[in-house]
């Protein structure tokens, strides 16, 4: 059996013997690259070398790079898709090109890893006349030259075998990929069926060469580069699966012991759920170690999504929530044992504590969501033709972070259906609106719709009114930013607040929270809102109607929401810092505690 270490050593030693310099494994969080949340390919940390913006330390390089890709997250659970993997990569920048790249790939696979050439297939770019891009006949010739059966060389179109850096401008070119034939047990052969089945039978084990010879211009035309380069990549996990003749990556040393432990310690060992739990927890360990914290924005959102998806599947297999921490600990131990551990930025106990914290937040979210779900179900007007209204299903997801699958399961227990199609339509509409806004910040200053963020947003209204009562009614809001962890509120005031003033504001806010005042939303015209005494700028930014949120006699503001239903949901308000933001502008940072 091949181990991870043996494969890595064989790969690196081969390329170093052929003049390649080994470079370091970079952090999965990109440095000075706002286009990526995570390093998603081996070449990402050195991509400026391919454009000539930076000079490479060598024209020939190789390494093993940890990568994160979440575009295939829904595919995790099959035999080979992963959100985190180790990419074995080699590069030629302005040095050798197609012939040597193909020769190196074939030699390493057949001699270094002893794979029979009869089980190898190669795909090449078929060309695209409309784009003025010719078929890659050169690569076909080089594959035949090294010994690949001509019937094992398949031409594929632009979307399959032409690589570029997204939709913008940048270096690009045709690529050639190597696939391994896993045998008749996984479907008919390409020769018999005429179908090159890359889902089951044929497994991609190496992108043997992205041949960067073109530059994609902004108008989607292509020009020749001044120098040509090669970028290759092979997933370690897939090589472990292939070289050891295993059924899936979950049978490799990376997962197998953890899978078996989980299988033995749950009541409903659903295979797909077991795989998702193990895979997502491993990726979460990697992301947490890179100093990313779970949140509802950017990289933190990806992390939270993975962790909560794993927690949901723990419930699916009927395992205790504490298994979340157990599997995380076993994953860390296994990463150390197999030589695949990153440079640890935290101790094991520190990482486990982060898992426990997210587990606790998930439990609270679930508790809140269950309460709201019960209210929805008990109101018969919310159920139409046996279906729970789709806007309520979406609100559970969007406002309370309630996974659709949990809503679906709970509804079924009550004899009620939910429409996945309508939910997906609302979700897509929400995504389109978010993309159109081109920002992660909502109009109300929220960074997301996490329940904690909504609570802090409501508290901001109370803070605004309390500041007016304590400091004077000339005080008004100059800006805000709200996350699940804290609120930040800017307001006009000429000096630093005294300790007594800060305490008076806190006491004012907490008195309203303690009274349990309902938060009432009304729609009216801007003129009506102004006449009612609502706080607002009353400029041209408003449409024909506005939402006005009223909290007793304490606060009335125009706002786009969302808010809690009653102030008793907020907990205890505490100002953590009061400081200068700019001349004449003060800034408060505050939190809510249980």
Final residue of a domain: which of 189, 209, 244? 244
* Number of structural domains in the chain: 4
Final residue of a domain: which of 244, 278, 295? 244
Same domain, 413 and 457: no
The tens digit of pLDDT for each residue in 483-528 reads: 888 899 989 888 999 999 999 999 999 999 999 999 998 888 888 8
CA distance 528 to 543: 13
**So what's the pLDDT on residue 167?**
63
Which residues, given as ranges, of the chain have pLDDT below 70?
165-168, 296, 399-401, 430-449, 537-544, 561
Chain position carrying tokens 């927690």: 311
- CB-neighbour burial class of residue 101 (10 A; exposed 0-12, middle 13-18, buried 19+): buried
Same domain, 435 and 455: no
Same domain, 283 and 318: yes
Residue 394 placed within a domain: yes
Same domain, 407 and 490: no
Same domain, 303 and 352: yes
**So what's the pLDDT on residue 431?**
54
Q: Strand, helix or coil at 322?
A: coil
Same domain, 216 and 263: no
Q: How many CB atoms lie within 10 A of CB 168?
A: 10
Same domain, 44 and 187: yes
Same domain, 419 and 478: no
Residue 319 placed within a domain: yes
Q: What angle do CA 374, 377, 382 make, to 5 degrees?
A: 135
Residue 367 placed within a domain: no
Residues forming a β-bridge with 579: 587
Same domain, 229 and 278: no
| DSSP characters over 198-263 | TTTTEEEEEEEEEEEEEEE-TTS-EEEEEEEEEEEEEEHHHHHHHHTT-SSGGGSTTTHHHHHHHH
CATH (domain of 464)? 3.30.980.10
Same domain, 197 and 270: no
CA distance 348 to 334: 12
Same domain, 198 and 306: no
The tens digit of pLDDT for each residue in 226-246 reads: 899 999 999 999 999 999 999
Residue 369 placed within a domain: no
Residue 505 placed within a domain: yes
Residue 236 placed within a domain: yes
Query: What does DSSP say about strands 21-22 and 162-164: parallel, antiparallel, or unpaired?
Result: unpaired
**So what's the pLDDT on residue 441?**
32
CATH (domain of 212)? 3.30.930.10
pTM exceeds 0.75 = no
State which residues form the domain around 260: 255-362
Final residue of a domain: which of 210, 225, 244? 244
Same domain, 186 and 90: yes
């Amino acid at each position: 059996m091949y181990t991870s270490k043996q494969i890595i050593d064989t790969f690196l030693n081969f390329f170093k013997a052929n003049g390649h310099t080994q470079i370091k494994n970079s952090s999965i969080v990109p440095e000075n690259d706002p286009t990526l949340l995570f390093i998603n390919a081996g070449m990402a940390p050195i991509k400026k070398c391919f454009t000539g913006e930076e000079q490479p330390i060598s024209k020939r390089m190789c390494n093993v790079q940890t990568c994160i890709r979440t575009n295939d997250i829904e595919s995790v659970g099959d035999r080979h898709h992963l959100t985190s993997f180790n990419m074995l990569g080699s590069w030629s920048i302005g040095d050798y090109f197609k012939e040597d790249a193909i020769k190196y790939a074939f030699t390493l696979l057949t001699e270094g890893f002893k794979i029979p050439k009869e089980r190898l297939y190669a795909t090449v770019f078929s060309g695209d006349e409309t784009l003025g891009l010719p078929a890659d006949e050169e690569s076909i010739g080089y594959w035949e030259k090294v010994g690949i059966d001509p019937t094992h060389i398949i031409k594929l179109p632009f979307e399959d075998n032409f690589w570029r850096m997204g939709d913008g401008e940048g270096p690009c070119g045709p690529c050639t990929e190597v696939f391994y034939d896993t045998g008749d047990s996984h479907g008919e052969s390409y020769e018999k069926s005429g179908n090159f089945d890359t889902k089951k039978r044929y497994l991609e084990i190496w992108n043997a060469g992205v041949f960067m010879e073109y530059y994609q211009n902004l108008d989607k035309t292509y020009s020749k580069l001044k120098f040509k380069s090669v970028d290759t990549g092979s997933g370690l996990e897939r090589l472990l699966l292939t070289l050891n003749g295993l059924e899936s990556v979950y049978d490799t040393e990376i997962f197998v012991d953890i899978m078996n432990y989980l299988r033995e310690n749950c009541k409903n060992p659903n295979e797909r759920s077991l795989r998702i739990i193990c895979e997502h927890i491993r990726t979460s360990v990697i992301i947490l170690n890179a100093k990313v914290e779970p949140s509802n924005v950017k990289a933190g959102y990806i992390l939270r999504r993975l962790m909560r998806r794993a927690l949901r599947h723990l419930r699916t297999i009927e395992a205790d929530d504490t298994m979340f921490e157990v599997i995380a600990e076993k994953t860390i131990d296994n990463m150390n044992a197999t030589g695949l551990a990153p440079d640890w930025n935290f101790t094991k106990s520190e990482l486990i504590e982060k898992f426990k914290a997210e587990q606790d937040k998930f439990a609270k979210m679930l508790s809140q969501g269950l309460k709201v779900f019960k209210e929805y179900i008990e109101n018969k007007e919310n159920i139409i033709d046996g279906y729970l209204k789709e806007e309520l299903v979406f609100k559970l997801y969007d406002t309370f972070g309630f996974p659709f699958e949990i809503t679906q399961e709970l509804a079924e227990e009550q004899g009620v259906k939910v429409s996945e199609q309508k939910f997906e339509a609302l979700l897509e509409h929400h995504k389109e609106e978010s993309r159109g806004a081109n920002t992660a910040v909502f109009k109300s200053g929220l960074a997301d719709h996490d329940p904690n963020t909504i609570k802090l947003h409501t508290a901001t209204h109370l803070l605004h009114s309390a500041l007016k009562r304590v400091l004077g009614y000339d005080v008004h809001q100059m800006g805000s930013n709200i996350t699940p962890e804290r609120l930040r509120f800017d307001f006009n005031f000429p000096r630093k607040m005294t300790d007594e003033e800060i305490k008076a504001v806190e006491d004012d806010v907490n008195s309203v929270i303690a009274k349990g005042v309902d938060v009432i939303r009304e729609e009216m015209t801007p003129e009506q809102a102004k006449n009612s005494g609502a706080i607002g700028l009353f400029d041209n930014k408003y449409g024909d109607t506005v939402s006005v949120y009223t909290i007793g006699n304490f606060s009335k503001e125009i706002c786009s929401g969302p808010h809690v239903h009653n102030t008793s949901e907020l907990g205890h308000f505490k100002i953590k810092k009061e400081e200068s933001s700019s001349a004449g502008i003060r800034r408060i940072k505050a939190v809510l505690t249980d």
